[in-house]
């Protein structure tokens, strides 16, 4: 299964942030909780903070977008980028792409 563009960027830096943002904007979800993030991406593009991309990812899977959720995923991402396979698996399980 291919990674969602945001997951690829956040985990591996592939695609680039510019390409991940472009992919997300080209294939917008109708989920209400994602709409504010799309407006931010329209205005800021790849200048948007990674935390906003993490929050958008939460919205896209139907989870509440709150500090706890963003911090939880950020923790998984930080460890995964350092090579922690369990953290990578935890992130992917959390965003339902494992």
The gap from C-alpha 46 to its chain's centroid, in whole angstroms, comes to 13
pLDDT digits (tens, 9 = 90+) for 7-43: 999 999 999 999 999 999 999 999 999 999 999 999 9
Could you give the C-alpha distances from 37 to 18, 48, 82, 84, in angstroms and in order?
A: 15, 10, 28, 29
Q: What is the pTM of this model?
A: 0.93
Q: Would you state the pLDDT for residue 97? A: 65
């Amino acid at each position: 299964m291919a990674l969602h563009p945001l997951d690829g960027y956040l985990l591996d830096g592939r695609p680039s942030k510019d390409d991940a943002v472009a992919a997300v904007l080209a294939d917008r979800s109708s989920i209400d909780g994602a709409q504010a993030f799309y407006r931010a991406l329209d205005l800021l593009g790849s200048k948007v903070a990674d935390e906003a991309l993490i929050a958008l990812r939460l919205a896209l899977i139907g989870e509440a977008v709150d500090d706890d959720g963003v911090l939880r995923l950020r923790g998984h991402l930080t460890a995964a980028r350092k090579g922690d396979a369990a953290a990578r698996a935890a992130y992917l399980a959390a965003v339902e792409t494992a």
